[in-house]
Structure 1
Amino acid sequence: MSLSTSLGDADLPPLFRTADSASLRGQELYIRATKLRLGLAVAAAALAATTIKPGETWDLAASLVALGFLATLVLEIWLLGRNPERDWYDGRALAESVKTLSWRYSVAAAPFSRGLTDAEAEQRFVTEVEKLIGDAPADSVIVSAPVQVTPRMRGARSADLVARRSLYLEHRIENQLAWYSSKATSNSKRARGWRLTLIVIEGVGAVAAVLKAGGIVSFDLPGIMAALLGAGSAWFAVRQYEALARAYAFAAKDLSTVHTRLCRIDDEAEWAREAGDAEEAISREHTMWRASRGAYTG
C-alpha cells in the first residue's frame, strides 16, 4: 500500500493543538511581561537621574520613578499569580509528548509495532496519552476533547513499510532536522549580537563614569548605563541563546545520523526499534529544555 499524504500538526489529536496553543499563549505573555518589567527598570533609572520641577518643591521625575516601581510591583504580583511561564513549559511538554506518541503510532514504531493488532495499538496509544494527561498539571492545559487516534494517523499506520519510512523521513526527521538547524543558526547569531551589545554598553558606561568623574557630565549617566546593562543581561539570561544554540546543533547532528540509519531499514522489527530510538533522540532535546527551566518533564 502506498501513502501519498503527509502527516502534519493538523492531523494529530486535538490534545496536541490544545497544549500547543496553551504553551504559545503562556510564552507570549511571559515574554511581553519580561520586556515590560525590564523596560520599566531602565526608565526608572533614567528618570531618577533627572530632576523635573514644574513648581518650587514637587519633583515630577521622582513621582514618575515611584509610578514606575509601582507598575513593576503590580506586574510582579500578576506574574506570581498568573504564572504564564509555567503554562509555557508545561504546555510545551505535553504537546511534544503527544506528538512523539502520535508519530510512534502512525509509523508503527516501538511501542506500537506491527506485532500489535490495530485495536491493541490504538488502546495502547489512548492509555499512554491518558498517562500524560494524568501527570500534567491540571491548571496548565485544559483538556477539551477525548483522546483519540485521527483518521490520517490510522491511514499512515496501515501503509506498507516503504511508505511509512518515506513519510517519517520526510515529514518528521527532515522537518525536525531543518528546524533544529535553523534554530541553532539563529540563536547563535542572536547570542553573538547580544554579547556585542552588552560589550558596547559596558564601554559606554565606563566612558560615562570617567566623564562624570571629571565633571563633564552632571547627571547620573553611569547609573543609567548600569541599569541598561542589568536589563540586557537579564534578557540574555531569560532567552538562553547560547545554551539553545548548542542544544539545537547537537540535536541536528544526532538527527542527521538517525536519518542515514533509517534509510537502510527494510525489516518491520528493526524499523520499530530504530524509529522508536529516533523519537527518543527528538524527545531528548525537549527533556533537556524543560529540565534547564525546572519544568514538568512528562
Structure 2
Amino acid sequence: MTEPRLTDGELPALFRTADTASLRGQRVYIRATKIRLSLAVAAAVFAAVSVRLGDRWDLAALAVACAFIATLMVELWLLTRNPERDWYDGRAFAESIKTLSWRYSVGAAPFAFASPDTEAERQFIHEVQKLITEAPADSLVISNPVRVTEQMHALRRSDLALRRHAYLESRIQDQLNWYSSKAKFNSGRARGWRLALISIEGTGIIVALLKAGGVISFDLPGVLAALLGAGSAWFAVRQYEALARAYKFAANDLSTVYARLQSVEEEDAWAHESADAEEAISREHTMWRASRGAPHV
C-alpha cells in the first residue's frame, strides 16, 4: 500500500490559481524594475556624451529624453497594473489555502478528530470562503469550486503514525529544505552585491580624481553614480540580507518543530502541536509581507 502524502498538485485548485497569479505578478514586477533601472543608467550614459546633428540638435540629449519618457511609461504602467499587489496578495492567499489544507488533512486544530469528517469538511469550506471574502475583489479570478481533494480525504482517514510521517516529510522537511536553500542563496547574493557595489564605489573615486585632474573628459563619474544608484535600488528591492536572516530563522524554528512532532503519540496533543507548526510557517510569511510593506491579510 502506498503511503499517503500531499503534494502541491494535490491541494485544492484554488491554491494553484493563487500561486500562478503570484508568480506571474512577481515576474512582471521584477522585469519592470529591471527595465526602469536599466533606462536610468542608459539616460546617464547618453547624458555624458554629445552627438550633434547639424548646429541645433543633440542626438544624445534626445536619447536621454526618450529614456526618461520610457521610464515614465513604465512607472505609470506599474501604478495602474500594480503587479506587486498580485504578487503579495496571490502569495498570501495561496499560503493560507495551503496551511488550511494541511491542517484539515492531518487533523490539526481547528480540524481535530473530535469533529465528524462531514463537519470538518464544512468548516474547511467555510474557512476558505472567508479567505475569498477577505481577499481584494480584483486580486484573483477564481473559477474553481471550493472542495476538499481526494488525497486530502485519504490522508485524513489514515492513522496518526501515517499522518505524522506524511506531515513531517512532505510539509515540515519540505519547508525546512526550502528555507535552508533560500537562506544560502540569499546570503550568497547579498555578499556578491555588496562586493559589486563596493567595487563601483572604489572605481568611482578613481575616475572622479582622474576627471578632476583633467586626465579624462568623459563624464564617467556620473555614469558610475547612476550605476551605483541602480545597483543600490535593485539590492533594496531584492532584500537579500533581510530574506537570508528570515529564512535562517525559519529553518532553525522548523528544525525544532520537526524534533518536537516526532514524539507526539496522542490525537489531542497532535492536533495542538501540528497547529503550532503551521503557525510557525505562517509567521515567516507574515514577516516576509511586512518587510515589503504589504498589509497583513
TM norm structure 1 = 0.98
Give the RMSD, CA atoms, in angstroms. Answer: 0.9
Deviations 1:259-279 (A, max 9, x none): 000001110000000000000
Whether contact under 8 Å (2:204, 2:225) holds in the other structure is yes
Residue 138 of structure 1 deviates from its aligned partner by 1.3
Whether contact under 8 Å (1:90, 1:296) holds in the other structure is no
Distance 1:296 1:27 in 2: 17
Q: Does 1:86 align with 2:78?
A: no
- Equivalent positions of 1:139-288 (< 5 A) are 139-288=138-287
Deviations 1:68-112 (A, max 9, x none): 000000110000000000000000000000000000000001110
Whether contact under 8 Å (2:4, 2:162) holds in the other structure is no
Whether contact under 8 Å (2:4, 2:154) holds in the other structure is no
Tell me whether 228-237 or 135-144 shows the greater mean CA deviation. 135-144
Residue 145 of structure 1 deviates from its aligned partner by 1.1
Deviations 1:46-74 (A, max 9, x none): 00000112433311111111000000001
Distance 2:196 2:139 in 1: 36
Deviations 1:143-193 (A, max 9, x none): 111111000000000000000000000100000000000000000000000
Whether contact under 8 Å (2:4, 2:163) holds in the other structure is no
The aligned counterpart of 1:76 is 75
Residue 296 of structure 1 deviates from its aligned partner by 3.7
The aligned counterpart of 1:294 is 293
Residue 3 of structure 1 deviates from its aligned partner by 5.7
Whether contact under 8 Å (2:12, 2:148) holds in the other structure is yes
Secondary structure of the structure 2 residue equivalent to 1:265: coil
Residue 142 of structure 1 deviates from its aligned partner by 1.1
Whether contact under 8 Å (1:44, 1:68) holds in the other structure is yes
The aligned counterpart of 1:15 is 14
The AA in structure 1 aligned to 2:238 is: R
The AA in structure 1 aligned to 2:6 is: L
Tell me whether 77-86 or 286-295 shows the greater mean CA deviation. 286-295
Secondary structure of the structure 1 residue equivalent to 2:257: helix
The AA in structure 2 aligned to 1:218 is: S
Distance 2:294 2:7 in 1: 26
Identity %: 67
The AA in structure 2 aligned to 1:47 is: F
The aligned counterpart of 2:98 is 99
The AA in structure 1 aligned to 2:187 is: S
The AA in structure 2 aligned to 1:262 is: L
The aligned counterpart of 1:25 is 24
Residue 237 of structure 1 deviates from its aligned partner by 0.2
The aligned counterpart of 2:4 is 5
Whether contact under 8 Å (1:3, 1:163) holds in the other structure is no
Residue 297 of structure 1 deviates from its aligned partner by 2.3
Secondary structure of the structure 2 residue equivalent to 1:22: helix
Matched positions, count? 297
Whether contact under 8 Å (2:201, 2:228) holds in the other structure is yes
The AA in structure 2 aligned to 1:80 is: L
Whether contact under 8 Å (2:50, 2:61) holds in the other structure is yes
Distance 1:200 1:88 in 2: 33
